[in-house]
């Protein structure tokens, strides 16, 4: 329906200079009357970003007033010494890995063949010594050999046997590979060095101080060349994508509030700013002297020309629906015309039938009440059944002739 109406507007606006407007009927609705309160705009989040590690500021880019994204660099500390320590630790880690690999892989085939050859040689020497001992034992029995020769042969046989046993033990050790305990110790040394590398990498990353969320730099606390100790402030970041308006409210009013209720918010000194917020939470700890409790109202902020419309510290006036329920005219928010401190709507009078219908508009000054869904209570020379302009009212003047489309039925299609 809305698309069809816009198409009709475009078609009707071609042949004549009389503007085409969209109107909607005023209705009455029963809702709590409003009561004004004053509050202060606060950032949704405010964080003082500090240095996690000591160092000298090599680069500082957190300039006050700059919009910044989560993860962007705020400041960079010097890392020369830390980078050298990290490279040394990485080299030691590689040494530990190679030592472990050597144990796990075991001896090379060439080393096993070498041990076998040494064992075979020792066996041959042992067999020769045993044969010589037997020969001298036979000769000694016939008196053809001296006792000294026989004893020398015995010593040589014992030495050859010991050398053979040693060579066989070496061969078995090489074939069996490293002991499980030795491999476990080498693995533990590798893990320990890996954790040392992780520790240095973590410390190195802390030399780059980054933004924790999307926001705006509010305050600079350091500059290039400055020395920062661990915990020293670097800058203050505020999140103004959504602002919070903190309104001190008496206890009897707090009892009448409901969370998530939409409320009208205006800003003295900025008459063209008219926004809608929602009651987000009530802080149950109040001011013991004033007997008031902070009510927090969340308002979505807008950015115009790179500057947020709502700034921290601005004064806000909030209309809370806490009064007795009354019947009052309500109009769509699009019907409101904001002109400085004035709030007005354009009412269609002298309605004449036609295709499209036409009439004359009259500007009516209004006072705003509480919000009722997507409409708002108004006080002024208005009553139910009248029609107010909801589209095309930005350039109207009092008494101007207009052509009319109806937003609340299909009469524009007839």
CATH number of the domain to which 65 belongs = 2.40.50.100
Q: Domain total for the chain?
A: 3
- 234 or 34, which is more confident: 234
**Per-residue tokens: 125:** 């020497």
Q: Which domain holds residue 58?
A: 46-77+206-237
How confident is the model at residue 409, as a pLDDT? 55
Reply yes or no on whether the pLDDT at 72 is more than 90.
Answer: yes
**Per-residue tokens: 161:** 């046997």
How confident is the model at residue 413, as a pLDDT? 41
| pLDDT tens for each residue of 258-278 | 899 889 899 988 878 888 899
How confident is the model at residue 367, as a pLDDT? 84
Q: Is the same domain home to 382 and 368?
A: yes
Q: Is the same domain home to 349 and 310?
A: yes
| pLDDT tens for each residue of 124-179 | 888 888 888 888 888 777 777 777 877 888 888 889 889 888 888 887 877 767 68
How confident is the model at residue 408, as a pLDDT? 61
CATH number for 330: 2.40.30.170
**Mean pLDDT confidence for 408-412:** 50
How confident is the model at residue 414, as a pLDDT? 38
* Per-residue H/E/C for the chain: CHHHHHHHHHHHCCCCCCCEEEEEECEEEEEEEEEEEEEEEEEEEEEEEECCCCEEEEEECCCCCCEECCCCEEEEECCHHHHHHHHHHHHHHHHHHHHHHHHHHCCCHHHHHHHHHHHHHHHHHHHHHHHHHHHHHHHHHHCCCCHHHHHHHHHHHHHHHHHHHHHHHHHHHHHHCCCHHHHHHHHHHHHHHHHHHHHHHHHHHCCEEECCCCEEEEEECCCCCCEECCCCEEEEEEEEEEEEEEEEEEHHHHCCCCCCCEEEEECCCCCCCEEEEEEEEECCCCECCCCEEEEEEEEECCEECCEECCCCCCEEEEEEEEEEEEEEEEEEHHHCEEECCEEEEEEEEEEECCCCCEEEEEEEECEEEEEECCEEEEECCCCCCCEEEEECCCCCCCCCEEEEEECCCCHHHC
Q: Is the same domain home to 260 and 331?
A: yes
pLDDT band at 116 (very low <50, low <70, confident <90, very high): confident
Q: Is the same domain home to 336 and 383?
A: yes
Q: Is the same domain home to 34 and 102?
A: no
The phi and psi torsions of 146 (rounded to 5 degrees) equal -85, 160
Q: Is the same domain home to 188 and 315?
A: no
Of 237, 256, 290, the position where a domain reaches its end is 237
Q: Is the same domain home to 363 and 246?
A: yes
| pLDDT tens for each residue of 33-46 | 788 999 999 999 99
Reply yes or no on whether the pLDDT at 393 is more than 90.
Answer: no
pTM higher than the cut 0.85 = no
| pLDDT tens for each residue of 307-346 | 899 999 999 999 898 877 788 888 888 888 888 778 889 9
Q: Is the same domain home to 197 and 221?
A: no
Q: Is the same domain home to 271 and 319?
A: yes
Q: Is the same domain home to 274 and 381?
A: yes
Q: What is the mean pLDDT of the chain?
A: 86
Q: Is the same domain home to 215 and 302?
A: no
Q: Is the same domain home to 51 and 133?
A: no
What is the rounded distance in angstroms from the CA atom of residue 170 to the CA atom of residue 37? 93
């Amino acid at each position: 329906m809305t698309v069809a109406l816009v198409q009709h507007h475009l078609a009707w606006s071609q042949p004549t200079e009389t503007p085409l407007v969209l109107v909607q009927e005023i209705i009455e609705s029963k809702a709590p009357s409003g009561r004004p309160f004053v509050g202060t705009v606060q950032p949704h989040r405010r964080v003082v970003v500090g240095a996690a590690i000591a160092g000298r500021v090599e680069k500082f880019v957190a300039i006050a007033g700059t919009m910044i994204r989560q993860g962007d660099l705020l400041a960079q500390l010097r890392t020369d010494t830390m980078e050298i320590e990290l490279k040394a630790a990485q080299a030691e880690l590689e040494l530990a890995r190679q030592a472990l690999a050597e144990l796990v892989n075991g001896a090379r085939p060439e080393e096993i063949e070498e041990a076998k050859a040494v064992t075979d040689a020792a066996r041959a020497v042992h067999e020769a010594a045993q044969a010589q001992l037997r020969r001298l034992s036979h000769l000694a029995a016939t008196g053809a050999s001296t006792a000294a020769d026989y004893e020398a042969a015995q010593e040589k046989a014992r030495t050859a046997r010991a050398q053979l046993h040693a060579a066989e033990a070496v061969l078995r050790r090489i074939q069996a590979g490293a002991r499980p305990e030795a491999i476990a110790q080498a693995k533990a040394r590798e893990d320990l060095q890996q954790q040392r590398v992780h520790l240095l990498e973590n410390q190195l990353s802390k030399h780059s101080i980054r933004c924790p969320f999307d926001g705006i730099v509010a305050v600079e606390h350091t500059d290039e060349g400055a020395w920062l100790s661990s915990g020293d402030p670097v800058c203050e970041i505020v999140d103004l994508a959504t602002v919070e308006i903190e309104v001190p409210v008496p206890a009897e009013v707090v009892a009448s509030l409901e969370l998530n209720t939409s409320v009208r918010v205006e800003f003295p000194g900025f008459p063209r700013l008219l926004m809608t917020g929602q009651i987000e939470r009530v802080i149950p700890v109040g001011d013991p002297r004033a007997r008031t409790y902070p009510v927090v109202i969340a308002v979505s902020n807008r950015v115009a020309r790179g500057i947020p419309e709502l700034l921290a510290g601005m004064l806000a006036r909030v209309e809370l629906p806490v009064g007795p329920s009354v019947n009052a005219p309500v109009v769509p928010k699009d019907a409101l015309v904001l002109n400085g401190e004035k709030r007005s709507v354009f009412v269609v009078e002298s309605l004449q039938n036609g295709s499209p219908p036409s009439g004359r508009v009259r500007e009516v000054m209004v006072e705003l009440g509480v919000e009722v869904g997507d409409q708002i209570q108004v006080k002024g020379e208005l009553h139910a059944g009248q029609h107010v302009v909801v589209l095309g009212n930005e350039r109207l003047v009092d008494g101007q002739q207009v052509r009319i489309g109806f937003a609340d039925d299909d009469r524009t299609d007839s």
